Amino acid sequence: MGLATVYSRAQNGLQADLVTVEVHLAPGLPQLAIVGLPEAAVRESRDRVRAAIVNSGYQFPNRRITVNLAPADLPKEGGRFDLPIALGILAASEQIPNAQLSTLEVLGELSLTGEVRAIRGALTAALKCATSGRRLVLPAANAAEAQLARSVEIIVANRLSELCGALHAGTLPTKLAAPPNAVPDAALELADVRGQYQPKRALEIAAAGQHSLLMMGPPGSGKSMLAARLPGLLPPMTEAEAVEVAAVASIGSGGFDPQHWGQRPYRAPHHTASGVALVGGGANPRPGEITLAHRGVLFLDELPEFDRTVLEVLREPLESGQITISRAARQVDFPARFQLIAAMNPCPCGYLGDSGERCRCTPDQVARYRSKISGPLLDRIDLQVFVPRVDPDALGRSENRADGRAADSSAQVRERVGAARARQLTRADKPNALLTVKEVERDCVADSDAQALLRLAMARMGLSARAYHRVLKVARTIADLARLDAIGSAHVAEAIRYRQLEASSKSGAG
Ligand SMILES: [Zn+2]
């Protein structure tokens, strides 16, 4: 018949648009022309498809072959279309039956020997395929990930020859996808961090209201240990959220590991990370750390060491929950609803305020160090807390809280956080950290004593209007943790304490 059509999908950000692969065989000088792919991708794909067909025991047609990938203006990474192109050539040359192809969507890169290799973004393709009514043929290595899209029928392809055999026999072994049960990551237990009652309290408030948090303390005080335990304190994700997280990881360079299904991401990029690595970008834009941390935690250790222009870029996603990457011809939106946890030393040497009295930094040096973080960014961090170094000799005593109870486990904190978050969702359908100014005025009304206290503190600490609203949001979360509807002066007083680093940095030194 000389003509065949195979469906496939492109990957553009989190989009997976349908691509039609048309193959036409005509008499004439033998050649293979591929239309609709970038030049380099065409060259590579041509070689792989030809070798895979021959090495799978089929004939490469001695005809003039035209392959058209439509629409032509979609960004296409070549590899994923190898398998649909090969099937199209074999069907057009009547070496495999054509009948079932229209019921399938096909993705997969081919090795020269005809093995089907993994592609990026299988989950986003599977989510779209599920709405098309077609079945999805994809590499075995991507099957577990694609399963996370409910109600898509998956056909696993290990080798081109094996898939063609099944098409001949008319028996494509499908399996219906269903996500596995989420397993919380139990490895990081809050009670394993000894002492540190105050920072743990700040972490619990951050978890309850999805507030951003800056920890300041000397090296070795356990700031990283605390940050790594935050995902384990957060409420479980909904299935839709878990699918979002998996889809984002699926288009990232690391791919999605189904063992992490349902776990909130935790990303801790080094301060030498480039802007593209942090924010996303590239010719075929890939997600950066802030997107890979979507619905989870982004931990920036040694905050003042990060490139200041990169930090400034964080301001937009912190407000909007997404990032727009613009490239010459196209624009890609990635989600970036991450919770920011940052850490820094109190001074260049790290030991200002430490009991050992080792710090020799001058007030000027301290001020210069702290001013590397801009006011506008600091303004957007809801909670600031000092994390002291724990004296090993005093651990026996500080292990216990002031009221004599043992340190709380992650599970105990998670339960309180869950209850406080449920109150927020009932009231405003969002965590307190995301309340708009109007919503703060509606939902975060403090009693008159608390208001007087807040006005006094604002004047004395010289805080901005933005900081004023942040204090009220944090006070709202503290009241939610206490299961109270009214915000009292104790809640406001505690919320003000979490802005003291900002006040002290404004006065020049700690
Ligand atoms: Zn110092």
Domains of the chain by residue range: 2-176, 190-507
Q: Cα(216) to centroid of ligand 1, in Å?
A: 13
- Cβ partners under 8 Å of residue 280, min gap 6: 286, 287, 288, 290, 291, 323, 325, 334
Angle of helix 489-497 relative to helix 448-461, nearest 10 degrees, comes to: 20
Contact in structure between 174 and 155 (CB atoms under 8 Å) = yes
Reference 378, options 467, 476, 495; nearest CA is 467
Reference 60, options 110, 15, 17, 125; nearest CA is 110
Q: Cα(327) to centroid of ligand 1, in Å?
A: 43
3-class DSSP assignment, residue 154: strand
What homologous superfamily is domain 190-507 in, according to CATH?
A: P-loop containing nucleotide triphosphate hydrolases (3.40.50.300)
Q: Cα(413) to centroid of ligand 1, in Å?
A: 34
Q: Cα(211) to centroid of ligand 1, in Å?
A: 29
Q: Cα(192) to centroid of ligand 1, in Å?
A: 29
Q: Cα(164) to centroid of ligand 1, in Å?
A: 69
| pTM beyond 0.95 | no
Q: Cα(448) to centroid of ligand 1, in Å?
A: 41
Reference 305, options 260, 211, 369; nearest CA is 369
Contact in structure between 148 and 123 (CB atoms under 8 Å) = yes
Q: Cα(314) to centroid of ligand 1, in Å?
A: 28
Return residues with CB closer than 5 A to ligand 1 (ion).
347, 349, 352, 359, 361
Q: Cα(501) to centroid of ligand 1, in Å?
A: 16
CA distances from 230 to 34, 203, 301, 473, 488 (A): 50, 7, 14, 19, 27
Q: Write out the chain's pLDDT in tens, 510 residues.
A: 599 999 999 888 888 899 999 999 999 899 999 888 777 777 788 999 999 999 999 999 999 999 999 888 766 676 899 999 999 999 999 999 998 899 999 999 999 999 999 998 899 999 999 889 899 999 998 888 888 887 788 999 999 999 999 999 887 777 665 656 666 566 689 998 888 999 999 999 999 999 999 999 999 899 999 999 999 999 988 888 988 999 999 888 777 887 888 889 999 999 999 888 999 988 778 899 999 999 999 999 999 999 888 888 888 898 899 999 887 667 889 999 999 999 999 999 988 877 777 888 999 999 899 888 877 778 789 999 999 987 766 555 544 455 555 789 999 999 999 999 999 999 999 999 999 999 999 999 899 999 999 999 888 888 888 888 999 999 999 999 999 999 999 999 999 999 877 655 544 333
- Cβ partners under 8 Å of residue 274, min gap 6: 310
Domain boundaries 2-176, CATH class: alpha beta
Reference 165, options 92, 58, 67; nearest CA is 58
Reference 30, options 66, 64, 73, 75; nearest CA is 64
Q: Cα(155) to centroid of ligand 1, in Å?
A: 61
Check for a shared fold between 2-176 and 190-507: no
